[in-house]
Amino acid sequence: MSDTSDFRNPSTRSQAPQHILIVGCGIAGPVLASLLLSSQTPITKLPHITILERNTAALGSGQNIDIRGIGKHVIEKLGLTQGIKEATTGEEGVKIVDANNRIWAKYAADKTGEVETGTSDVEILRGRLAEILLKQVREVSEDVGARGGFRVEFIFGDNIESLEQDDEKVYVRLAKAGSRTYDLVVGADGLHSKTRRLAWGAEQEGCLRPLRMYGAFFSTTKEKADGEWRSWYHAPGGVSVMLRPSGTKEKSTVLVLLADKNDNIAKEMAGQGRDVSAQKRLVLKKLEGINWQEKRLKTAVKAADDFYFDTTAQIKLNRWSKGRVVLLGDAGYCASPFSGMGSTLALAGAYHLAGSLVAHPQDQRDHAFAQYEECMRPLVVKAQKLPPGMPHLIHPQTVWGVWLLRMFCAIVHWSGLIHLMSRFRGPPAQVKEFQEYDFKVKKEQ
């Protein structure tokens, strides 16, 4: 691993504070900013950070996610363990159900963090986690400002139109705020990262590897029968529906998964862009005749103001940096929702990128990026390795296939094999040695 001996010695680093643009205010971006401003660098030498977020409406929404293994080490470093646990959904586990709501199998949540099950001990809505992380970076920013440093600049409702760089700077033009110059740009703007497209150009073509599966997320009014377990229903045609608790008494969340082995959905949606009305029409058509809570689900789709639809995919790049631009989280190494590792990779990536940047002078930027990749690449490779046949194996096309899937789940449940399988896979996202960086983030009270 790269030498980090100068981490605690600010005199070995460049004296001029860097101007850093972080594109994306989801999970990874705010964590990176909080950590960079919590290093042991003298207050007047801390970086000038700008956080740019295009879609402010998305900050408070998003599907159920979990935090595993190394991700929990990071939230502990951030001093947010207790606060995040208090904001979890309370999901007790997952049950496989049929059209009559009969339970074929039940898998309880992992409450220990020691094994890998479908429901981890830290399940939280993405929007709720984003709000917690945004609140923290604002508090860190105010503290830095009160001590004579530079507060974080937040730019919401804007986006990058162009990006160019040379050996000295990165030159960006924002749609509303105009031209800006930075020493470093971090693309934490998700699966369809515009930062990646602008900086990598033709080099990034083909890096998005579709899994031929689409997902639609939305919420619905919670009913008493919903309970605190996730209900997972499969229908022929490669359709499955997850109904999950949200951690509130008012709503449940829904995730509709649509297999697209023959690219029929891709063809149908071609040219539609991000037309939400067209996306809703497609989902409504796919829900036709599923025979499980059909009327309720269709009503929820039509009424949803938090509806989100997208392809499921992975991002695979040989390098996550190009010049003075570096990618973070899904923008550089999305592992797909089926890995259960998206938020964990975002947290771990922010932690290692912050540590690597602080550990190296500005003129050793390439060494910092190399250390970041050295720390993260093994975890990403592991997260992106999906089991054979996934995710289509668990989305049968026929009635017979659905029955076989339920029977298999029942056998795994009643035989107790699930416990052996969970322990065989071992602790999720763990590393033998957790790289330590000396961040002093304000701890939770």
Q: How far apart are CA 110 and CA 128, in angstroms?
A: 21
Dump pLDDT digits (tens) for 170-184: 999 999 999 999 999
Location of each CATH 3.30.9 domain in the chain: 211-312+391-424
Per-residue pLDDT at 416 exceeds 80:
no
Its pTM stands at 0.91
CATH number, domain 211-312+391-424 = 3.30.9
Q: Is the pLDDT at 444 greater than 70, yes or no? A: no
Strands in 109-250 per DSSP E: 123-125, 153-156, 160-165, 170-174, 178-182, 184-187, 208-221, 230-235, 239-245
Q: How confident is the model at residue 6 (pLDDT cuts 50, 70, 90)?
A: very low
d(CA 334, CA 338): 11
CA distance 27 to 328: 10
Q: Do 252 and 230 form a contact (C-beta atoms < 8 A)? A: no
Q: Average pLDDT in the 330-343 region?
A: 91
- DSSP strands (E only) in 178-303: 178-182, 184-187, 208-221, 230-235, 239-245, 251-259
Segment 16-56, tens digit of pLDDT: 789 999 999 999 999 999 999 999 889 999 999 999 999 87
Encode pLDDT of 63-112 as tens digits: 788 888 889 889 999 999 999 989 888 899 999 999 999 999 998 887 76
Residues whose CB falls within 8 Å of the CB of residue 286, separated by 6 or more in sequence, listed in order:
237, 239, 256, 258
Answer yes or no: are the C-beta atoms of 182 and 170 closer than 8 Å: yes
Instruction: Kindly give, in sequence order, each residue whose CB lies less than 8 Å from that of residue 3, ignoring residues fewer than 6 positions away.
Output: none
Kindly report the average pLDDT of the chain as a whole number: 89
Give pLDDT, residue 14: 47
If you average pLDDT over residues 203-214, what whole number do you get? 94
Nearest to 309 by CA among 358, 255, 259: 255
Structure confidence by residue, pLDDT tens digits, 129-159? 999 999 999 999 999 999 999 999 999 999 9
Is pLDDT above 70 for 113?
no
| Percent of the chain scoring above 70 in pLDDT | 89
pLDDT score for 177:
95
pLDDT of 368 strictly over 50: yes
CB of 62 within 8 A of CB of 169?
Answer: no
Q: For residue 177, report the phi and psi dihedrals to the nearest 5 degrees.
A: -85, -5
**Spatial CA neighbour of 222 closest among 300, 305, 121, 126:** 300
- 2 has a pLDDT exceeding 50: no
DSSP-based three-state secondary structure for 400: helix
Residue 426: pLDDT over 50: no
Question: What CA–CA distance (Å, rounded) separates 48 from 37?
Answer: 9
Q: Which pLDDT score is estimated for 244?
A: 95
The pLDDT tens digits for 217-263 are 999 999 999 999 999 999 999 999 999 999 889 999 999 999 998 88
Question: 60, 61, 80, 63: which is closest to 71 by C-alpha?
Answer: 80
Tell me what percent of the residues of the chain surpass a pLDDT of 90.
69
CB 244 within 8 A of CB 88: no
* Confidence category of residue 338, pLDDT binned at 50, 70, 90: confident
What was the pLDDT predicted at 414? 85
- Strand-strand pairing, 239-245 and 321-322: unpaired
Alpha-carbon torsion 431, 126, 118, 380, what sign?
A: negative
Positions of CATH 3.50.50.60 in the chain: 19-88+123-208+315-384
Q: How far apart are CA 327 and CA 348, in angstroms?
A: 13
Q: Which CATH superfamily is domain 19-88+123-208+315-384 in?
A: FAD/NAD(P)-binding domain (3.50.50.60)
Side chain identity at residue 186, one-letter code: V
Q: Residue 34: its pLDDT value, please?
A: 97
